[in-house]
Amino acid sequence: MSSGVEQLAGGDLETRVAARDSDEVSVLAQGFNRMAEQLAEDQRRLREQERARRKEEVERNLLEAENARKTQELEEARLFQLSFLPGTVPDDPRFRVAVLMKTATEVGGDYYDFSTSQRGVLTVAVGDATGHGATAATMVTVIKSLFTAADDDSSPASLLDSAGMPPVLVHRPSEPSVSEVAFEALPLGR
């Protein structure tokens, strides 16, 4: 029994002490065996917990890296979108012009611009592409290109030819539903 106890004390949790009789030594041997089984089980459980903790840590690190990457991409897209907006407002003694834009998300379809023709005509463009994210930002890029490419003789109708708004939705507090106001054509443009 003493060699089994020494092996157990040395960390060999697979060691069992032989219990031959029903005397006190045998009871003690059975106690050592139960203790060895419990220690082996505790050690196995601790190893499993450590593996699970490490796995969670790796997954958390991967998630944090992915979030950081997406945050960086969104910031770059936001700065790109803001680069389409004019840096200054027109300085025209006939008008006082001020702007403030606060987007709901990092990237969206908010847009405004100014153009002063050779004849002194101030054209102001204000828009909000439907939705948010890359699709709306792409639409703003297209509109900015069209607005910039327009010459002094372009009419507002020619610029608005492809413009449009999503369907108008109406919610009345007295009704549990939302209804759509149907038009034969887009609310703006043709």
98-131 pLDDT, tens digit per residue, is 988 876 666 767 788 998 888 888 888 887 776 6
Which pLDDT score, from 0 to 100, does residue 190 have?
A: 44
Which pLDDT score, from 0 to 100, does residue 94 have?
A: 86
- pLDDT over 50 (residue 35): yes
The residues facing 123 across adjacent strands are 115
What is the reported pTM? 0.51
Name the pLDDT band for 57 (thresholds 50, 70, 90). Answer: very high
Name the pLDDT band for 154 (thresholds 50, 70, 90). Answer: low
3 state DSSP class of 139: helix
- Structural domain for 55, as ranges: 2-75
Q: Which two tokens stand for residue 120?
A: 């002194």
Q: Is 64 left (phi over 0), alpha (psi -120 to 50) or beta?
A: alpha
Q: Are residues 156 and 91 in the same domain?
A: yes
Which pLDDT score, from 0 to 100, does residue 64 have?
A: 96
- pLDDT over 80 (residue 18): no
Considering the domain boundaries, does residue 70 fall inside one?
Answer: yes
Considering the domain boundaries, does residue 141 fall inside one?
Answer: yes
Supply the DSSP symbol for 14.
T
Considering the domain boundaries, does residue 174 fall inside one?
Answer: no
Q: Are residues 10 and 69 in the same domain?
A: yes
Considering the domain boundaries, does residue 57 fall inside one?
Answer: yes
Q: Are residues 156 and 107 in the same domain?
A: yes
pLDDT digits (tens, 9 = 90+) for 161-170: 666 666 778 8
Considering the domain boundaries, does residue 166 fall inside one?
Answer: no
139 closest CA partner among 115, 163, 169: 163
Higher pLDDT, 86 or 80: 86
Q: Are residues 110 and 135 in the same domain?
A: yes
Tell me the C-alpha distance between 111 and 144, whole Å. 8
Determine contact, residues 92/148, Cβ cutoff 8 Å.
no
Higher pLDDT, 85 or 26: 85
Read off the amino acid at residue 61. Answer: N
Tell me the C-alpha distance between 166 and 130, whole Å. 7
Considering the domain boundaries, does residue 179 fall inside one?
Answer: no
- Neighbour-count burial for 152-184, b at 16+ CB within 10 Å, e otherwise: eeeeeeebeeebeeeeeeeeeeeeeeeeeeeee
Tell me the C-alpha distance between 43 and 144, whole Å. 66
From residue 5, alpha-carbon distances to 21, 37, 84, 128 in Å are 17, 13, 79, 79
Tell me the C-alpha distance between 101 and 110, whole Å. 8
Name the pLDDT band for 54 (thresholds 50, 70, 90). Answer: very high
Higher pLDDT, 2 or 32: 32
